[in-house]
Amino acid sequence: VEELWCRGFLGRKLCARYGLAAGVFLTSVLFGLLHLDPSHVFIAGLMGAYLHYVLLTTRSLWPAVLLHLANNGLAVLI
């Protein structure tokens, strides 16, 4: 759901309105803030920027979804 909202919807709108760099930055900041825990906000923001990069380079939301799923699954296992 986070990927659909942040990159699939919000990211596309922000990039279209403010340009690629500002759109990715704003989307990543909002993605980080969605994680609420102050210790996770910065890292989640960086991950959001990376996932947006993956979306842009692959032109598909699925690789970003799978990477996000793998990250969360690894966090649960650890």
Cα dist from 4 to 8, 69, 77, whole Å: 4, 13, 24
Q: How many CA atoms lie less than 13 Å away from 47 in the CB half-sphere? A: 20
Return the pLDDT at 36: 87
Instruction: Please tell me the pTM assigned to this model.
Output: 0.85
How many angstroms separate the CA atoms of 51 and 64, rounded? 5
How many angstroms separate the CA atoms of 41 and 13, rounded? 22
Q: How many CA atoms lie less than 13 Å away from 57 in the CB half-sphere? A: 8
For the chain, 78 residues long, give each residue's pLDDT as a single digit of tens: 888 898 889 999 999 999 999 999 999 999 999 988 888 899 999 999 999 999 999 999 999 999 999 999 998 999
Return the pLDDT at 39: 87
